[in-house]
Structure 1
Amino acid sequence: MPPAYVKPYVKRQKNDATDAEAICEAVTRANMRFVPTKTPEQQSGLVLHRTRHLFIRQQTSVINAIRAHLAEFGIVAPVGRHGVEELLAVVADPNDKRVPEIACACLSALGAQLRRIKEQILEFDRLIRAWHLSNEMSKRLEEVPGVGPVLATALVAAVADPKSFRSGRNFAAWIGMVPKQHSSGGKNRLGNISKQGDRYLRGLFVAGALSVIRYAKIHGTKHRPWLTALLARRPTKVAAIALANKIARMVWAMMARGERYKEPVALAR
């Protein structure tokens, strides 16, 4: 059971006895939700994704450190990976005397660390791609626009039993892509998206939705009337959240029913 669902049954102080009592009380509830057990393969996939995500955060941290240290000496570069390469070229140039020797030694170490992290991330990408090609469900999920090997394998690893969700909306709520509710007295009050679910999956879904929107803006949105109407009345990022919610529901239907992706009628023409 999720610990958050057991917490309301804890009486006053927290200790092993009250925790055990709360668990015994929660497990008897008819509407209690239970966490399905993952297979060793799924758990290994989660380890792979979490390790890759950790290395990506470390890469960002190292890049920010290089930029910040060189900015102290008045050396800045454009945003993006090419800008970082320009900064490292300045550090590696023996004829450039703008950076003191001690600072150059430290920045060279950071540059070497950055290269090692990038090589490891590429190795993780290779492992994810290999696992994706060996998993039938992951290959079926990739057929959905906005879903690539990274998101497909993350879904296969994270969702132990798709049928444990009653609907696509419940699945989207588990990820954290439905509005927060503060309803009372028969009045429905909906706020921003809850962000209470899986942060990693939510980020991948939103990135996939943004890629679909970017492709549609370049090649035209006439074949996607729903997305066209949405972009006409909402900002791009708001539309991306709505599209990510839609993609999540389609993915759940495919996983729960064992179906393949079917193009909408407007796209099939």
Structure 2
Amino acid sequence: MANIALFGLDIGKQTFHVVGHDAQGRPVFKRQFSRNSLLEFLARQPVTRIVMEACCGAHWLARKLAGYGHTVQLIAPQYVRAFVTGNKNDFIDAQAICEAASRPTMSYVAVKSPEQQAMSALHRLREARIGERPQAGNQIHALLLEFGVALPVGVRGIKQVPVWLQEESGLPALARRVLERHFDHWCALNRQITELDAEIAAQAKADDVASRLMTVPGIGPITASQLAADAGNAKGYGSARDFAASLGLVPRQHSTGGKAKLLGISKRGDKSLRRLLVQCAHVIMQNAARWTSAMAQWTVALMMRRHANIVACALANKLARVVWAILAKGGEYRPSPTP
């Protein structure tokens, strides 16, 4: 099969569908494999280009196939969807991957290292626990409200729960036992989040990329660690503008007939990274009046004439560009002096 120039690989849990194109873009190969037979087959093939969607298991498989000498690239699934013609099945998906990969302007996702994947999983665990904590708190509030106890809103009310776990509280014994289980679950989630924060902070200090990102104003260990894990070396982005656009920190555009029409921010890409950068922007906005750097003065001047939300998005865009420069070119953040 020396005439195959491109393999399009549709990934499944147990089955994998492969379509091969020759140098002229004609489909010349189509076959279904199991996981083990796929690795054995591609290990015997001459060095070629393999493209797949950036979905679950793609980064591990990309590293595995790159070890055989192949050039492996990942495409975001939303870019492949436009090339699916007719009905949808696994072979048509693999064919669409080949069609998308043949476009010279196609954007690709950088393959993550095992360390980056592990750190990304740690952040997903933290986000899951943070999402569970309000649910546990709401269950405690609702349970006590059924017995006529209206706790103060938020954590301040949860801290009063031990009072209602006592026998003289007037609650039935069974209700107290249920409340105790809810409260223990909330406390366990709180401890896990605290431990995860400490672990991420320690990992960020030990990691060279994350420690350099923490030199940027407003960026702490959580944001720096997730940027290092999810953005990698930023080589997949042609410029700082492309990186900021990939996070949805630029206006949506609906222009035609030579008339430019800009809308609100697009909110594309990783919403977790976008949220973290906006939070970092708010930190800078709160402290900009006390700082003397050029970025702080620019922020203060913008806050005087635009709404705070607009300033936060504009500043998050600026931070994203600074992050790209550090990831792609190395070095640390060097603040510009006051003009």
| 2:168 match | 95
| 2:183 match | 111
Residue 163 of structure 1 aligns to a residue whose secondary structure is coil
8 A contact 2:293–2:335 mirrored in 1: no
Q: d(CA) in 1 for partners of 2:326 and 2:94?
A: 38
Q: CA deviation at 1:177?
A: 1.2
Residue 95 of structure 1 aligns to a residue whose secondary structure is helix
Number of aligned residue pairs: 264
Q: CA deviation at 1:148?
A: 0.4
1:158 to 1:78, Cα distance in 2 relative to 1, 3 A: same
| More displaced stretch, 220-229 vs 31-40 | 220-229
| 1:4 match | 78
8 A contact 2:76–2:108 mirrored in 1: yes
| 2:282 match | 210
* Greater relative contact order (CA < 8 Å, ≥ 6 in sequence): 1
1:186 to 2:258 alignment: yes
Where do 5+ consecutive residues of structure 2 fail to align?
1-74
1:135-146 correspondence to structure 2 within 5 Å: 135-146=207-218
Identity %: 40
Q: d(CA) in 1 for partners of 2:260 and 2:142?
A: 47
8 A contact 1:140–1:260 mirrored in 2: yes
Q: d(CA) in 2 for partners of 1:221 and 1:254?
A: 22
1:131 to 2:203 alignment: yes
Q: CA deviation at 1:91?
A: 2.4
Q: d(CA) in 1 for partners of 2:266 and 2:174?
A: 47
Tell me which structure has the larger Cα radius of gyration: 2
1:80 to 1:236, Cα distance in 2 relative to 1, 3 A: farther
Amino acid at match of 1:108: E
| 1:226 match | 298
Aligned-residue Cα RMSD (Å) equals 2.0
Residue 162 of structure 1 aligns to a residue whose secondary structure is coil
Residue 138 of structure 2 aligns to a residue whose secondary structure is helix
1:120 to 2:192 alignment: yes
| 1:252 match | 324
| 1:61 match | 135
1:6 to 1:222, Cα distance in 2 relative to 1, 3 A: closer
Q: CA deviation at 1:191?
A: 1.1
Residue 252 of structure 2 aligns to a residue whose secondary structure is strand
- String of CA shifts for 1:15-45, please: whole Å, max 9, x gaps: 1221121111111110111111111000110
Where do 5+ consecutive residues of structure 1 fail to align?
none
| 1:152 match | 224
1:29 to 2:103 alignment: yes
- String of CA shifts for 1:202-252, please: whole Å, max 9, x gaps: 1111111112222336x4789722111211122222221211111111111
Amino acid at match of 2:211: K
Higher strand share: 2
8 A contact 1:205–1:248 mirrored in 2: yes
Q: d(CA) in 2 for partners of 1:115 and 1:208?
A: 28
| More displaced stretch, 69-78 vs 119-128 | 69-78
8 A contact 1:9–1:22 mirrored in 2: yes
1:69 to 1:186, Cα distance in 2 relative to 1, 3 A: farther
Amino acid at match of 2:132: Q
8 A contact 2:293–2:337 mirrored in 1: no
- String of CA shifts for 1:34-93, please: whole Å, max 9, x gaps: 11111100011001111111111111211122223333444334444223212x134223
Q: d(CA) in 2 for partners of 1:92 and 1:241?
A: 45
